[in-house]
Amino acid sequence: TLSLAFLVAVMVHLHARQPETSAMAGAVLTTALAGSTWTWGQLAGVTDPWAALLALVVLAVAVVPAHLLPDRTWSHPNLSIARAGLEVGAAMAALPVALAGVLGASDQLDLTWTAVYLTVTGVAVTSLSLLRPDRQWLLPLGGLLLAAASWVRLWEVGVREPEPYTLPSAAVLAVVGLVYLRRHPQRSTSTGLGPALGLALVPSLLWALTEDAGLRALLLGAACLGLIVAGTRLHWTAPMTWGAAVGAILVVRLAAPYVGDALPRWVLIGGAGTVLIVMGVTWERRLLEARQMLGYVRRLR
């Protein structure tokens, strides 16, 4: 029945005069294709995880190359809607197929199969976004699926530190941000590089705040210093602000135990009061310096 539905859906998808009808047939086509592949795998004695993998690969092979077919393959000119039907049907079929494969795997291999399914899906989505200019908006989704596959695999092998999860994705985001800034020179670096810097620094900072001073804190501090220097030299806002903010929090966290143990409470209170008095006496000078600093910040990109 599924095979017959697949064949009928192929004919309607290619020869329908209305793009909406073609799109609906495309969704039925990919759904029936996934169901047929799963069923034939079960009849052949293939285990659930392998049957799910086969179904996902078949879906990818059916959907991605469809965008390379000549326009005359379809009987109507509105191909974007027709191809969207294929993609929607593939997405609707991929989720239950992958879930069935994971549930059918043993407890020792469920994470492995999850990573495999995420990788196959991520490659398909990324390939689709690169082949079709009108599907470029799918590129972040493909990258997220591939990143999730690596995260699942890292968790499976026992990696608990944040850097192996965050730094590869942050590097990709940084490259994308640099390309974006190159194409749009008028845009702020906070827009182009802010997500990458946040992903690279914040998880490591949160981890460093909960542990004693060590290699992570040292490397994070060095990275913040490098970002401040680079941001100052290039007049880029994002590296300088992220480096200064994260570095300041890290310094306060590392210095707090030593300051608290070495100085009595009255010394800290008196020191804070002295600082406030000095700021009040030199208010006009501080205000001029603040205005100069504000002008410098405004000149940053």
Pair of tokens at residue 244: 């200064």
Whether 234 is covered by a domain: the verdict is no
Asked if residues 93 and 35 have their Cβ atoms less than 8 Å apart, the reply is: yes
For residues 262 and 202, what is the distance between their CA atoms, to the nearest angstrom? 29
Same domain assignment for residues 16 and 141: yes
Structure tokens at 239: 């590296």
> Would you state the pLDDT for residue 67?
76
Assigned domain for 282 exists: yes
The domain boundary, picked from 144, 160, 176, lies at 160
Same domain, 150 and 273: no
Which of 113, 144, 160 is the last residue in one of the domains? 160
What pLDDT, on a 0 to 100 scale, did the predictor assign at position 180? 87
In a domain, 174, yes or no: no
Within-domain flag for 182 = no
Number of domains in the chain: 2
Give this prediction's pTM: 0.73
Q: Is the dihedral of CA 113, 119, 120, 125 positive or negative?
A: positive
- The last residue of a domain, from among 160, 188, 209: 160
User: E strand or H helix at 101, and its extent?
Assistant: helix 79-104
Are 104 and 55 spatial neighbours (Cβ–Cβ below 8 Å)? no
Q: Which of 67, 73, 35, 65 is nearest to 51 (CA)?
A: 35
What are the residue ranges in the chain where pLDDT is below 50?
A: none
The range of the structural domain enclosing residue 268 comes to 263-301
Find all residues with CB under 8 Å of 7, minimum gap 6, and list them.
none
**Is residue 8 one of the residues assigned to a domain?**
yes
Q: Is residue 193 part of a domain?
A: no
Q: What is the pLDDT of residue 16?
A: 82
Based on the domain organization, do 31 and 146 belong to the same domain? yes
Q: Give the C-alpha separation, 147 to 150, whole Å.
A: 5
59, 116 in Cβ contact below 8 A? no
- In this structure, the answer to whether residues 146 and 1 fall within a common structural domain is yes
Residue 114 token pair: 């999850």
Res 210: pLDDT: 85
pLDDT confidence of residue 55: 95
In a shared domain, residues 147 and 277:
no
Q: Are residues 10 and 147 in the same domain?
A: yes
Host H or E run for residue 111: helix 110-131
Contact between 72 and 64 under an 8 Å Cβ cutoff? The reply is: no
* Cα distance between residue 263 and residue 259, in whole Å: 6
Residue 190: per-residue pLDDT: 85
Q: What pLDDT does 242 receive?
A: 92
The answer to the question of residue 296 being in a domain is yes
| 142 and 279 within one domain | no
Asked whether residue 128 is domain-assigned, the answer is yes
Token reading at 288? 């001029």
